[in-house]
Amino acid sequence: MSAEQFKQAAAQAAVQLVQSGMVVGLGHGSTVKYALDALAARLHAGELTGIIGIPCSKHTQNEATRLGIPLGDINAHSQIDITLDGADEVDPQLNLIKGGGGALLREKIVAQASRREVIMVDESKLSDALGTRFALPVEVLPFAWQHALDFIAGLGGNPQVREHNGMPVLSDQGNYLLDCAFGRIADPHTLARQLEGRAGIVEHGLFLGLVTDLLVAGPQGVRHLSRG
């Protein structure tokens, strides 16, 4: 099986956790696309009714609308029952690096509002320590992006402004995205606090202590891991 087939298998397994009447967070990225397809199929088959999707990006919102998935406003729901999302890197404690698709801020807002945060990955996303396989995305205000760049470099990172055709890539909020290569991150919690304490840094891609369920697809099938 290919990596894409593993992603699809993890997504299909995750969608089986959704029940009728749930408020469902809909993440962002290539694995989430497979989850949207599977969720729409269950809806159209009558297996699910009364669900409300909360999209984490404009792209996900457009895809869900195209597939006929009912959507709602996060401000109308104090708590989300379950969120389906992907990740760029996962450590043994089920901590994550996310944000390769640029939706880290909305993804974290939705994750923090969720009873269950279900992450769907193929085995290639697993690592012994965050930062060994993927640079850390950081969303910053355009007003002072160079100051954020310098600050992150002072923490030991190697930040680069994410660009497309020579222009900065913008998040859905109109902010810049920095991809920061730290190498192996020895203490993600300390790094998270340092980044959160700096004005101008809007959000970072360290998702710590948020995951409740991890579905990992590989040659041996789909494994379901739970925190604790």
Q: Are residues 146 and 86 in the same domain?
A: no
Q: How far apart are CA 123 and CA 198, in angstroms?
A: 34
139 is catalytic: no
Q: Are residues 19 and 91 in the same domain?
A: yes
Q: Are residues 122 and 142 in the same domain?
A: no
What is the structure's pLDDT at 71? Answer: 98
List the Cα angle 63/66/71 in 5-degree steps: 75
Whether 43 shows a pLDDT value over 80: the answer reads: yes
Whether 80 shows a pLDDT value over 70: the answer reads: yes
Q: How far is CA 81 from CA 43, 53, 116, 225, in A?
A: 17, 10, 6, 18
Answer whether residue 228 is part of any domain. no
What is the structure's pLDDT at 228? Answer: 64
CATH number of the domain encompassing residue 42: 3.40.50.1360
Domain that holds residue 169: 136-202
Answer whether residue 131 is part of any domain. no
Answer whether residue 35 is part of any domain. yes
Whether 67 shows a pLDDT value over 90: the answer reads: yes
Q: Are residues 41 and 104 in the same domain?
A: yes
Domain count for the chain, please give it.
2
CATH number of the domain encompassing residue 148: 3.30.70.260
Q: Are residues 10 and 57 in the same domain?
A: yes
Answer whether residue 65 is part of any domain. yes
Q: How far apart are CA 120 and CA 50, in angstroms?
A: 23
Out of 4, 63, 89, 107, the active site residue is 107
* pLDDT band with cut points at 50, 70 and 90 for residue 169: very high
